[in-house]
Each structure stands twice: as C-alpha cells, then as structure tokens.
Amino acid sequence: MTAITFTPKQPKHFITTADYTAEQLLDLVYRAVQFKVESKYNHPKPRQEQPLAGKSVALMFSKRSTRTRVATETAVSYLGGHAMFLGSQDIQLGVNESFYDTAHVVSSMVDGIMARVGGHHEIETLAKESSVPVINALSDKYHPTQILADLMTIHEYYHHKKNNAPANVYSAHTQHPRETLKGLKVAWVGDANNILQEILVAFPKCGISVSAACPSGYVCDQDVIDIAKADAEKTGTTVFFTTSPEEAVKDCDIIITDTWVSMGQEEEKKKRLLDFKGYQVTNALAQNGCAKPDWIFMHCLPRKPEEVDDEVFYSERSLVFPEAENRKWTILSVIDALLVRGEI
C-alpha cells in the first residue's frame, strides 16, 4: 500500500499593513487600480478568467459591516469563487466554540478566511491556527484593507489633479502610486482607534506625514507609535501627536476622521461625546487651523454627524464615496495576491 503524506500548509495572512513594505502595499494599490479599469472601464462583460472557480472564502464577522462585507463578497464572485457569510448569529464562534477550534474546523473546508473580530488577539489566533490565508476585516487594533483603499483614493485624487485629467476620464492607472503619494500631509482629528493605528503603520512608510489630534487620555499603542516613528525617520516624513485639532490640521492636504464611538464601545458613548467636544471636522476648523486651501476630506464610514458636519461631509472636498467603492478594488487585489497568485 502506498502511504500518502501530508505536508502542513504554512499560509500567509494579511493582518496589518505593518507587515509589508511600502513597495508591496503600493503594488497592491496599483493592482487594485488595474482591476477597477478592467472591470469598470474596459470589461463591462463578466470576465472569462475565474481563478477562484470551485473555491470558497469564509467571511467570519462578529460585528456588523456594509462596505467590507459587500466588497469581499463581490470581489470573491468577480474571481469566480464562493463567499460564505458567517455572522455571529450563524455559527458557534464566541458562543459555543473558541477561536482556536473554529480556526481548525473552518480552515479545513475553505480556501481563505476574511474575519472581523473584537480583540486583535482573536485575529492572531485565527491566523496562527488556520491552514488557509486569513485576512483581517477589522480588529480593535487594525483595519488593513481600509487603509489600502485610502491609499488608492488619495492616489487617484492627486494623480487626476496633477495631470489635469478631465473629470470624465479615469487616468489613475497611468502612474504608479509611489509617484503620487510622497510629500503629502494627513491630519487625523478623532479617536486613537484602529483606523488611526493602521494609518500610522502605513502612511509614513509610503512618504505621507501624519499629524494626529486625539483628546487627552486617548492614545495609540506604543508599538504602533514606535513603528510609525521609525518609518518616518527612514522616509523623511513626520509623525506628530497633539490634543489640539487646529494644530493637527496646520498645512495639511487631507483631513481624516472616524466615529468617536467604535463598535463595542457603545456604553462609553456619553463620556466620549463629552471628551471629543471641539473635535468635529468643519470648514471653520480647517480655516482656523490653516489647513491648505484645497484640503480634502476622508472617512472610512459609517459616519455619525458628530465627528463631521454635513457641509464638509457632502462637499466637493469629500472623497468618502469613492473611498468606500475602493474597498472593493483593494480587497480584490489582496484576495488575488493571497489566494490566486500567492505573492504576498
């Protein structure tokens, strides 16, 4: 009888952009732009290539999601695969079964896992125990696929602007994002949360300075700050923290914020609304703090009115809806790299 030997798989995972070089991240963004061109502008018909045909990706989400869920399900089907949504009401995870056991069971049957969790240790356990690639769809520490979409959105905007491209021509694919992002300054006005932390580990190494205003007592993890400062030193960018929103926005090109009450923090809402008083992004804040006159606004969404007023949110400066759409192209790019090409 011939013995069959099994070699345990050592899959790669996408847990935070901190694990990748700037060139790897920007290549992912560039590939996302190519997917967008292929799908929206060149290939209105379904594509022939179906590299994930017969394969399944489990979406294990313990929290709500609109963008990440829709982006992932449509990205998987674009590549010919099957996306299986497993919400917290559907599976045993967290109620009757541990992350350790669930990782072993689910990964034995699917080809990839996209997981939205609470604590960051949960995604780390999933990744450690899974036999297939795991993508972080949000943890309390990081949100890597969001920040790839942000890099893509910034690239598209500045590429278009610098090249005076007509509004009806999509031209971002004619240049690599390594050319467009360097030298920009982002101001963050808001919570020291997962979105800011992912910005800190991604933007400075791509040549973007970050100046963050968070209220007193709201601070990022020390390891995140250390990564950001080390990257900034290498690229000649700056990373600066303050409690003053006006100080943060000085000379910035882009203002970014997020909810003051992240999922799971609902009980702290009353205190947080008081602590963040004066942090709403408005035209007056940008003007008083001397942001560049042509500053633009970004937000990962979902948005609540307290952190940004309607005048900014629905203005021409606001890139929030292209930013949301770009979740699809960047998630497609990550899935393609991890599950199809095995390149990252």
Residues identified as active-site: 300
Cβ proximity to ligand CP, 247 vs 306, nearer residue? 306
Rounded to the nearest 10 degrees, what angle do helices 222-235 and 194-202 cross at?
30
- Mask for 278-317, x = binds ligand CP (CB under 6 A): ----------------------xxx---------------
Give the residue with the Cβ less far from ligand NVA, 153 or 194. Answer: 194
The single residue among 153, 194, 209, 237 that binds ligand NVA, judged by CB under 6 A, is: 194
Question: Which of these, 314, 308, 302, 258, lies nearest to 286 by C-alpha position?
Answer: 308
Considering only residues 39 through 68, tell me which ones interact with ligand CP, judged by CB under 6 A: 65-68
CB of 165 to ligand NVA, least distance (A): 30
Beta bridge partners of residue 58, listed in sequence order:
84, 113
Angstrom distance (rounded) from CA 94 to CA 317:
41
Shortest gap between Cβ of 149 and ligand NVA (angstroms)?
11
Residue among 338, 301, 336, 298 nearest 318 (CA): 298
* CB-CB neighbours of 119 under 10 Å: 13
Give the C-alpha separation, 196 to 180, whole Å. 21
Residues numbered 235-274 forming contacts with ligand NVA, rule: CB under 6 A: 258-259, 262-263
Please, what is the minimum distance in Å from the beta carbon of residue 300 to ligand NVA?
Answer: 5
Radius of gyration, CA atoms only, the chain: 20
CA distances to 66, 111, 130, 229 from 215, in Å: 28, 42, 38, 20
Residue 259: contacted member of ligand CP, ligand NVA, none (CB under 5 to 8 Å, by partner type):
ligand NVA
- Tell me whether residue 79 or residue 117 sits nearer to ligand NVA (CB atom): 117
Asked if 145 is part of the footprint of ligand NVA (rule: CB under 6 A), the reply reads no
**Range 110-169, binding ligand CP (CB under 6 A):** 138, 146
Q: Which is nearer to ligand NVA, 30 or 313 (CB)?
A: 313
Record the tokens describing residue 90, joined without a space.
Answer: 């559907």
Cα three-residue angle 116-121-127, rounded to 5 degrees:
70
Give me the least distance between CB of 150 and ligand NVA, in Å please: 12
Half-sphere exposure of 225 (CA within 13 A, CB side): 10
Name the residue with the smallest CB distance to ligand NVA.
Answer: 262
User: Which residues make up the interface to ligand CP (CB under 6 A)?
Assistant: 65-68, 138, 146, 300-302
